[in-house]
Chains A and B, each alone.
Chain A
Amino acid sequence: MPLLNTTTRNVAVVPVKHYHEKVIDHYENPRNVGSLDKNDTTVGTGLVGAPACGDVMKLQVRVDAEGKIIDAKFKTFGCGSAIASSSLATEWVKGKTMDEALKIKNVDIAKELKLPPVKLHCSMLAEDAIKAALSDYRIKQSSKDNIKKND
């Protein structure tokens, strides 16, 4: 009997009940989780959020010589919506030019994931992460010498 009880408890999905199925899909099968070498000059790293608020999002992009984003990875510590937003963001930036990627707005992410009002902040965090990653890449490109000194 105790065994049966445990099984029943594991099957219950109460914590994810109110998330839209798209959020659950990204949460359960996150795309592009991982890291790129942050010291690589073709990689831009964006780190946004604050540990104190419970959401930290790292998004990295690899940009080729033509300015196209050829790879993207993320790691997110946060709620289901934050994870889904960053997962979706990596999916969307891949194959885009930097300018196209900067046009991705929080509302697009929120709409796609059907985020409720209180979770719009998660999509904003993902937009900020894209911007931060691309800005980091640009800084690296414009000051490669400084970066070398830094390391």
Chain B
Amino acid sequence: MIPLINHSMKTVRGIRVGVRLLSCPATHRLSGVGLLFHSPVAPHTLELTSLTRCTPYTLHPGLFPRGSVCNYTTEMDSARYEQVSDETLDSLSEMLEELIESDASLSDSDVLFSSGVLTLQLGASGTYVINKQVPNKQIWFSSPHSGPKRFDFQDQTWIYKHTGETLHGVLEEELSQIFHTQIDLSACLYARTASQ
């Protein structure tokens, strides 16, 4: 969640832009830009569609009151999602397999990857499940230590919007503790933001 006021002007390129407002009265509307409607499933979510004719599109923060909190999401197309998520999980599972093979101290550990679900079993340290969530173009992550997180593809990597953490960053941190050594996953595909 990013306070909108910190973004003086944000240009969003994409097929679809969702503007999510939290702690903001549902009476506020963007007008004259695309079509804005109140999401039927989330009352405080405003969705902006029909942007095909107005990309790149500029959000004017002045339309929202000071202190509003919002999230921008740019949705990628399905083919790109499939490709990126498959490559991400493929690359990650290869790396995790190497990691497990290199550490003989871990018994009962295994990496399984099939139909978009990557399962990392680490014996007594628990089981990680990392899977594709196609309907919302996310990667879902379930950790025996930190619980579940949902990652969106942003800035060339997978980001958990609540905290700004990256998928690979979270894994590196937790696996480093489990393996008692610094784990580096930066060689994996889409492990870092474009700016890193």
Contact = CB atoms under 8 A, between A and B. Distances in A.
A150 B27 CA distance: 6
A75 interface: no
A58 to B, nearest CB: 9
Interface of A: 45, 47-54, 56, 105-107, 110, 117-118, 120-121, 123-124, 132, 135-136, 138-139, 143, 146-147, 149-150
Given A47-B42, A52-B136, A53-B135, A117 B150 contact: no
B25 A136 contact: no
B22 A135 contact: yes
Interface stretch (B9-17, B98-106, B141-149): B141-149
A45 B25 CA distance: 14
Given A50-B136, A56-B41, A136-B43, A117 B144 contact: yes
Given A45-B43, A135-B23, A106 B135 contact: no
B129 interface: yes
A146 B25 contact: yes
Interface of B: 22-23, 25-27, 41-44, 117, 126-129, 131, 133, 135-136, 140, 142, 144, 147-148, 150
A139 B23 CA distance: 6
B12 to A, nearest CB: 20
A121 B150 contact: yes
A120 B148 contact: yes
A115 to B, nearest CB: 9
Contacts of B128: 117
A68 B126 CA distance: 37
B136 A120 contact: no
Nearest to B120: A117
Given A47-B43, A107-B147, A120-B142, 12 more contacts: A47-B42, A50-B135, A53-B136, A117-B128, A121-B140, A124-B148, A136-B43, A138-B23, A139-B44, A143-B25, A147-B25, A149-B27
A39 B25 CA distance: 14
A117 B136 contact: no
